[in-house]
Structure 1
Amino acid sequence: MTGNLATPPATPESSEDGLTPYPSNVVDRYRRLGLWAGRSLPAELSDAARVHADRVALVTPEVRWTYRELFSRATQFGAGLLAGTELRAGDAAMFQMGNVAETVVAYLGCLIAGVRPVCTLPQHGEREVGLLAEHVGARGLLVQADFGRGEPLNTARSLLDRGVIDTVVIARGEPMDGAVAFEDLVRIGAAAPVPDPVDPDQIVAFQLSGGTTGLPKVAPRLHEEYVYNSKAWAAALGWTPATTLLYPLPLLHNAGIALALQPALLSGASVVLAPSARIDVLLDLVESERPTTLPLVPPALAIRLLEEPRSRTVDLSCIEDYIVGGQRLPVEIAERLRDELGISVRQMFGMAEGMFLVTPADGSEKLRFHTVGQPISAADEVRILEIDGTAELPFGEIGEFCVRGPYTIRGYYRADRHNADAFTDDGFYRTGDLARAHHLDGTTVYSIEGRIKDVINRGVEKIHAEEVEELILRHPDVTNAALVAMPDAVLGERACVYLILEKNAPRPTVSTLGEFLLGQGLAKYKLPERVEIVDRFPLSNVGKVSKKTLREQITTVLLAEHEHEHSPATGAR
């Protein structure tokens, strides 16, 4: 086991507000060690903004704001939120906003007002947003009106009409009936009192654990631990006011907040927020802004960068840190980035529940290419436990990756039953990931070897099979469904569904099944991308559907199809 924190007492049950608190002796220890400072996240961010007032804080295609300009606008928005709506400190507000300046202002403004952001995404459907709003008791919804084809607006109208939420804020568009305009709140806030200081001993934000299921798994992040999470990441990467980071992924993920926005602002660095992850957009920003770090690049983006001919003509020498995460990067891709683009890859592993690991910049290629490194804090603790057991496995053996530390949650929000299985009695989070410890370059590092949980890792998005299967089973022609991962060279995995149909039922296609699931409110990125019809499912030795066998079957089918397409007999090259 790594880490130096003495074993605390058993994890307490959730308090009345649904939060599983850190044990008091653990809180005292973190504060004595100087890891927690007893201050709120907005207080820490505001202090940094005063220190770096004239430095560039945020760059988008539309704005280039200093820290003074960004935090002035955020403070006005937070004050306007309290003066111009029914929301109050302690309330929760959902987000359906993309990578635009208003998202940053709204997130920071909510923190300053004491309103707790629920970090949903504009890609989430009405069903998901509604479930999450009910689970955390959210009253507000912040919407980017010009995102996509206006789907977030439709979600907002429905949830407002149904009474699931009572406050809607519309950015970048005309407000609908019953909603308030983002810019109106900024104007109201300019004349309103500055919000009172926020109590640091409470939840600051809600992050989603990879996706949603019938019962959402929500990670409640607390002020002190979220501050430390961000500061520890910035320290691990050596960020300073000279750092410029480019971030192309959805900002409202935990990765966008805790790997990019917050650590950058606490360091006096500049954030270049890309409106999308299109390679041409990223290369344009590299040329114009000369970023020094890309703190999270999914393997799919690395592959697309290699495939883009223009990558060979753009000067990438400004990028000092190119950090890949989300899933394992194939070694051959790391080698091609080195050889073809001059990019030295580091890898990381992180989760909405807290724990971050990263490979050191000066680590050997064996360490950087084959592991995800070590935790970012000396107070982080790791155990490799036997699957479905409590025994710690010997060094080098594969087992479940279990973690505990000063920024890893003690329990999901309002989920006592799930927490009983997801956390050990002494507070270690059972991640569901398979891992192995290695001794390389004179230190202990870890590699992620797969997953125990039934989750499909499509790029940086995680699809919970159970949720999709539940909705597919509502289809009148389907008697049973099993969603499994199939390999994909770009995204890593895509979703394939095996179906058993009613007798004489028409065969659904990817398109028709997708239309049905969209009608059920499922997000588009969760739709199955291949449909296989079978008479029966293979079973394991305990009588359950063997998804391992189904994954092997679809992998074999895809390989055979690939070989056929590229065989001389087909005329393929």
Structure 2
Amino acid sequence: MTGPRLPLEGVVYADAAMAARYFAQGAWIDRKIDDQLRARGEGNPQDPAFICDDDVLTFGELDRRADALANGLLQSGLKVNDRALFQMGTTLDTVIAFFGCLKAGVIPVCTIPQYRELEIDQLATLTRPSAYFVQSDGGSFDLVGFAKHMARRRSIPRVFVAGGRGEPDTIGMSELSNSGDRMRRAVPTGSEDVAVLQLSGGSTGIPKIIPRFHAEYMGHVRLWCDRYRMRTGDVGIWALPLMHNAGMMFALLRTVIYGCTTVLMPRWDPARFFALIERWRVNHAFTIGPHAPAIAAFQDIGKFDLSSLRFFFTLQGASAIERATGVRATNMFGITEGLVLTSTLDDPPSLRHGTVGAPCSDFDEVRLLRPDSEDEVGPGEVGELCFRGPSSLRGYFAAPELSAECLTSLGFFRSADMVRRVELDGRVAYAFEGRTRDNINRGGEKFGTEDIERLIALHPDIADGKVVAMPDEVYGEKACAFLIQKPGRPLPSVEGLGLFLLERGLAKFKLPERIEPIDAFPTTRVGKLDRAALRTVIADRLGDKKVKL
């Protein structure tokens, strides 16, 4: 509890008095994440930590293999506080690479395999990585070739490949771990140092990078999982990206904090999902995005034994999941900037299904403010969710101006999410009502529209284009492009526009999935673009096909 031992330039840290208070009150845990793994590896070496495609990785084996990888990383020339881009899937190799980096003091930059030139270029500019982790079996897209191309373009000296076969200009992860040696000495970092650089979906094309710290991240996970009465030996299942904030909390950190087991699903399939729950006697299931309606709509649920399953938690669709499975489920709210709202197993359906719950930490302060002001809304009114607490953002990485825009004068983070405070059955909770900014949440992947619109403006047949969220029954939201065509030129098709954007490096999940021709964009009374009006137009045309809670 002495502050960061090796501060990283561009990071805003908690002051000493605040840190001491959080440690004393139990909101932070004074231990590094990799030290927590070491404790599990020594205390419970034979217990299963992660299971994937029938391969079982025990805590002892994970600790040993992460040690060996860390040694290899340091011998390759990496230093403490160097950054490493991650584009890896939901696999055991990702787990080992993640903990190996932490043991070496190398900071993972938590990207996803779906990112392409535009996103990786921006992230490399901001984080200046010294390494790049990918996997050779990432599907039809050549992630290894892409990583080699981006490494040359951005002068990233090392490309590490899981499952690699000695390709030129790369280093196989197995080559790094050949010695099998344990770490001879701990790296000189502490619990208040940066553990990972997470990413936030936002309303601009500029990546927003969020430092998460060992002590606060572990404390945040514990307070969240305590809501669900998590205990040693529990089994969870994870079928989403591991390096997301949600995957980091539920799969990676929860596993080592509680001594739990996590079943990983590299590829989503509802039948296999239920088969794995039955086989491994899963107790807790977390799902977001399109998985929730797929679970609720699966016709063969009755063929599987779900008696071990105690709780489902999801960002949306809890009521439908509970009806379909007979297992208690709750909606929740999570944001990488450091707040989780959720209900408990014992809360009535009115809370679990009708709201997103309440803060997990007694130290989290929540205020509902009027957009563009610091005035609180009245009782029952909808306001912008603003918060501060042990894990809340104090500043984006290397972005003081952006940080100032997103924080109030008292240090409350402005989420741009609109909620309403409600009281049900004697409990205070919050109901989600929408967003103020122009970001899109497509099945849990949040992204802004600025970079898409900038590329659309380059199209030879388009005079101007704006992109907004449109409702979708499966993904919650998708991108819709309102386009003004150039005189005498035809508008592109959805497929044609998508190909144009892909060729310029945009990630596929950001592509507009509908085009609406328009003669002029609506404006507000002060002459600004009225995006809310565009969202209303497309919602009306689609019949407001939102995912039902």
How high is the TM-score relative to the length of structure 1? 0.90
Alpha-carbon distance between aligned partners in 2 of 1:48 and 1:437, rounded to the nearest angstrom? 40
Alpha-carbon distance between aligned partners in 2 of 1:212 and 1:109, rounded to the nearest angstrom? 33
Residues 76, 190 of structure 1: 8 Å contact kept: yes
The correspondence for 2:34, drawn from 42, 49, 66, is 42
The answer for the alignment partner of 1:571 in structure 2 is none
Residues 1:502 and 2:486 aligned together? yes
Q: CA deviation at 1:314?
A: 1.5
Alpha-carbon distance between aligned partners in 1 of 2:407 and 2:395, rounded to the nearest angstrom? 7
Alpha-carbon distance between aligned partners in 1 of 2:8 and 2:100, rounded to the nearest angstrom? 27
Residues 1:112 and 2:103 aligned together? yes
The answer for the alignment partner of 2:18 in structure 1 is 26
The answer for the alignment partner of 2:516 in structure 1 is 532
Alpha-carbon distance between aligned partners in 1 of 2:168 and 2:210, rounded to the nearest angstrom? 33
Aligned AA (2:466): A
Q: Deviations over 1:342-363 (max 9, x none)?
A: 1221121111111111111111
Aligned AA (1:61): D
The correspondence for 2:323, drawn from 321, 324, 339, is 339
The correspondence for 2:446, drawn from 462, 484, 489, is 462
Alpha-carbon distance between aligned partners in 2 of 1:514 and 1:504, rounded to the nearest angstrom? 21
Aligned AA (2:165): E
For the structure 1 residues 191 and 244, does the alpha-carbon distance in structure 2 shift closer, same or farther, using more than 3 Å as the test?
Answer: closer
Deviates more, 1:534-543 or 1:360-369: 534-543
Residues 112, 198 of structure 1: 8 Å contact kept: no
Q: CA deviation at 1:211?
A: 5.9
Deviates more, 1:23-32 or 1:209-218: 209-218
Alpha-carbon distance between aligned partners in 2 of 1:127 and 1:363, rounded to the nearest angstrom? 44
Alpha-carbon distance between aligned partners in 1 of 2:460 and 2:493, rounded to the nearest angstrom? 15
Q: Deviations over 1:171-191 (max 9, x none)?
A: 122243221111001114537
Q: CA deviation at 1:139?
A: 1.4
Alpha-carbon distance between aligned partners in 1 of 2:84 and 2:509, rounded to the nearest angstrom? 23
The correspondence for 1:224, drawn from 177, 190, 215, is 215
The answer for the alignment partner of 1:165 in structure 2 is 156
The correspondence for 2:55, drawn from 58, 63, 74, is 63
The answer for the alignment partner of 2:4 in structure 1 is none
| Pairs within 5 Å for 1:403-418 | 403-418=387-402
Q: Deviations over 1:45-95 (max 9, x none)?
A: 322332222211110005202110111111111111111x22111100000
Structure 1 residue runs of 5 or longer lacking an equivalent are: 1-14, 562-573
Q: Deviations over 1:472-509 (max 9, x none)?
A: 11222222111111111111111110111221122201
Residues 1:312 and 2:302 aligned together? yes
Alpha-carbon distance between aligned partners in 1 of 2:261 and 2:163, rounded to the nearest angstrom? 24
| Pairs within 5 Å for 1:74-113 | 74-83=66-75, 85-113=76-104
Q: Percent identity?
A: 36
For the structure 1 residues 180 and 292, does the alpha-carbon distance in structure 2 shift closer, same or farther, using more than 3 Å as the test?
Answer: same
Structure 2 residue runs of 5 or longer lacking an equivalent are: 1-6
Q: CA deviation at 1:229?
A: 1.3
Alpha-carbon distance between aligned partners in 2 of 1:68 and 1:141, rounded to the nearest angstrom? 26
Residues 434, 449 of structure 1: 8 Å contact kept: yes
The answer for the alignment partner of 1:570 in structure 2 is none
Residues 80, 187 of structure 2: 8 Å contact kept: no
Q: Deviations over 1:302-333 (max 9, x none)?
A: 211232222232122221010011xx43xxx6
The count of corresponding residues between Structure 1 and Structure 2 is 539
The answer for the alignment partner of 2:436 in structure 1 is 452
Q: CA deviation at 1:552?
A: 1.8
Residues 1:282 and 2:273 aligned together? yes
Residues 465, 482 of structure 2: 8 Å contact kept: yes
Residues 1:372 and 2:356 aligned together? yes
For the structure 1 residues 394 and 20, does the alpha-carbon distance in structure 2 shift closer, same or farther, using more than 3 Å as the test?
Answer: same
Q: Deviations over 1:268-316 (max 9, x none)?
A: 110101112221221221222121001x212532211232222232122
The answer for the alignment partner of 1:247 in structure 2 is 238
Alpha-carbon distance between aligned partners in 2 of 1:391 and 1:549, rounded to the nearest angstrom? 25
Superposition CA RMSD, Å: 1.9
The answer for the alignment partner of 2:3 in structure 1 is none
Alpha-carbon distance between aligned partners in 2 of 1:338 and 1:180, rounded to the nearest angstrom? 46
For the structure 1 residues 560 and 290, does the alpha-carbon distance in structure 2 shift closer, same or farther, using more than 3 Å as the test?
Answer: closer
The answer for the alignment partner of 1:137 in structure 2 is 128
Residues 67, 183 of structure 2: 8 Å contact kept: no
Q: CA deviation at 1:402?
A: 0.5
Alpha-carbon distance between aligned partners in 1 of 2:295 and 2:500, rounded to the nearest angstrom? 35
The answer for the alignment partner of 2:206 in structure 1 is 215
Deviates more, 1:41-50 or 1:455-464: 41-50
